[in-house]
Structure 1
Amino acid sequence: MPKAAAKTAPKAAAATAARKRLYAAAVVPDVIDDDVETVIDYPETESARAEFVSPKTQRPVTEFQFRVYDACRQVPAGHYSTYAALAEHLGSGPRAVGNALGKNPFCPLPIPCHRILPSDCYIGGFAGDTKSKIFFKKAKLEKEGLAFDDAGFLAKDMQQSRFFGDFTAA
């Protein structure tokens, strides 16, 4: 094992164990939103985007957020991508992508932010919540054909076959 990989292996194992504990402590809500059909109007033109104010934040959507949303909308149903893959495509950082998706006012469609996972394929947070709404994200992805193990990780056999990373420029 290369020296760098040997140093990161314990950190990765600790992070996986922490995610498993987080998932085990999560509370399944009484009602789970698995809606993947509702389409929200999405401003396509530059002028419509300049005028758009997010009902979620009461602020204009930034140019960067629209770039994230334009890339995210390319991920097809039944597939997933990662914050890192989106960030690489955009020349940005995964946290910036996550922050933009956390403010997404166009979900579930045309901007399917539920299809974006962390690089380790853990279900991750959803709408800034890691204690209950992760089950919304999981239900949406399961409805689209993805499967998860008992610890909240995407099924191993889907991690490569269902990954989407072929983003095109907007």
Structure 2
Amino acid sequence: MAKTATASLVSLATSPYFAARPRSAAHKRLFANAVAPDAIDDDVETMRDYPETKDARAAYVSPATQRPVTEFQFRVYDACRQVPAGYYSTYKALAEHLGSGPRAVGNALARNPFCPQPIPCHRILPADCYIGGFSGDTKSKIFFKKAKLEKESLEFDDAGFLVGSMQQARFFGDFK
């Protein structure tokens, strides 16, 4: 998979997708005002059971919401699971692959009952490469996402943005 990811990076690095992205002042304030929890969850290895068949998916009920996982959510999760460790993708890239919107992708990932594995939703960032929220939380769990990504060799600056040298080099967009 890494070879495929690297091959897709070469073409994406020269695409208009990587034009200079303004850093959101709101994001900077959000990260500055976030409160680090006493304990940081950096687990990137715990494997959850993931329904693969149509029947298993139809019968699956999320333990967190007590609701069935929708077909769209499974499509998002199937795409997200393709992002290899040490790489990231964006809500926008996932949305374009799925023919959807970034918010819909974010909403699906906020309800991901299969993290951290096999659906590593922590590897999905906003288009400006800000650390973003995690599990729908932007005040404290943001540090969990950052710790997970740092454990997988990604680096962030003091304002919570992926360092510039990694934005092109570690982007994954070769969804199948």
Taking structure 2 as the reference length, the TM-score comes to: 0.87
Q: How far off its partner does 1:130 sit? A: 0.6
Counterpart Cα distance in 1 of 2:54 and 2:77: 14
The residue that corresponds to 2:83 in the other structure is 75
CA distance in 2 between counterparts of 1:36 and 1:18 reads: 28
Aligned match of 2:56: 48
Alpha-carbon distance in structure 2 between the residues aligned to 1:87 and 1:18: 23
User: 1:107-140 CA deviation, whole Å, 9 max, x = no partner?
Assistant: 0000000000000000000011111100000000
SS in 1 for 2:42: coil
User: Aligned pair 1:132/2:134, yes or no?
Assistant: no
Q: What are the residue-to-residue correspondences of 1:2-41 with 2, within 5 Å? A: 13=22, 16-41=24-49
Report whether the alignment pairs 1:105 with 2:113.
yes
Query: Which amino acid letter does the alignment assign opposite residue 37 of structure 2?
Result: P
State the alpha-carbon separation in 2 of the partners of residues 62 and 17 from structure 1.
34
Residue in structure 2 matched with residue 155 of structure 1 by the alignment: 163
Q: Deviations over 1:18-51 (max 9, x none)?
A: 1111111111111000000100000000010010
- For residue 26 of structure 2, give the secondary structure of its aligned residue in structure 1: helix
- Calculate the TM-score normalised by the size of structure 1: 0.90
Identity of aligned residues (%): 81
The 3-state SS of whatever aligns with 2:32 is helix
For residue 135 of structure 1, give the secondary structure of its aligned residue in structure 2: helix
CA distance in 2, matches of 1:140, 1:30: 16
Structure 1 residue 56: deviation in Å? Answer: 1.2
- What letter corresponds to residue 18 of structure 1 in structure 2? A
Runs of 5+ in structure 1 lacking a partner? 1-8
- State yes or no: 1:62 paired with 2:70: yes
Work out the CA distance in 2 between the residues paired with 1:84 and 1:120: 10
Larger radius of gyration: 1
Q: 2:129 maps to what in 1? A: 121
Distance 1:103 1:21 in 2: 25
Q: Where does structure 1 differ by over 3 angstroms across 4 or more consecutive aligned residues?
A: none
Take 2:71 and 2:137, find their aligned partners in 1: how far apart are those partners?
25
Aligned CA-pair RMSD: 1.2
Unaligned runs of 5+ in 2: 1-19
What is the distance in 1 between the residues matched to 2:48 and 2:87?
A: 21
